[in-house]
Amino acid sequence: MLLILIINKQMSRNTKQKTELENDLKRISGFFTAEEFHNHALKRLPYTGIATIYRFLKEKTKKRELHSYMCDKRTVYSNSSNNHCHFICQICGKKQHIDIRDVGSIKRNIKGTICHFQIDVTGVCERCREKS
Ligand SMILES: [Zn+2]
Ligand SMILES: [Zn+2]
Ligand SMILES: [Zn+2]
């Protein structure tokens, strides 16, 4: 009996935590990392571990309520299915975020449905081009 009570208590705390995290998530716009979201969540949920945050974000991504991308070898997330594109200089390695909207040719090559995309464009940046 006691055990059941403890389990119930644990469950309701987890559910409450999840609801709080859901609310926190809604307040974020743009791209964010798990660590950033963790810092954000800690303000209201001081005992939240980073593992909980990873699990939560993974679950959300699986449900397609969250979108994930790779940025600087780190995973970044977004609430909306934004595109995440980089222009990387092959000489100085500088990376710029760019906005690519026209994906007509990509669409033609994909039989499924596109949710979001990430494109890394490599080249020589303006600064390096002037130097050479
Ligand atoms: Zn997506
Ligand atoms: Zn990026
Ligand atoms: Zn460069």
Q: For the domain made up of 2-78, give the CATH fold.
A: Arc Repressor Mutant, subunit A (1.10.10)
Amino acid at 83: N
Residue 84 to residue 99: CA distance in whole angstroms:
7
Provide the 8-state DSSP code for 65: S
Q: What is the pLDDT along the chain (132 residues), one digit of tens a residue?
A: 566 666 666 666 778 888 989 999 998 989 999 999 999 999 988 889 999 999 999 999 999 999 999 998 999 999 999 899 999 999 999 999 999 887 788 888 899 988 999 999 999 999 999 987
What separation in angstroms does the CA of 65 have from each of 2, 78, 79, 99? 37, 9, 7, 22
CB 96 within 8 A of CB 87: yes
For the chain, what are the domain ranges?
Answer: 2-78, 84-131
Count Cα atoms within 13 angstroms, Cβ side, for 84.
20
Which CATH number describes the domain made up of 84-131?
3.30.1490.190
Query: Whose atoms come closest to the Cα of 73: which ligand?
Result: 2
CA of 128 to the centre of ligand 3 (A): 4
The environment of the single-atom ion ligand 3, i.e. residues with CB closer than 5 A, is 89, 91-92, 94, 125, 128
Report CA(89)–ligand 2 centroid distance (Å).
14
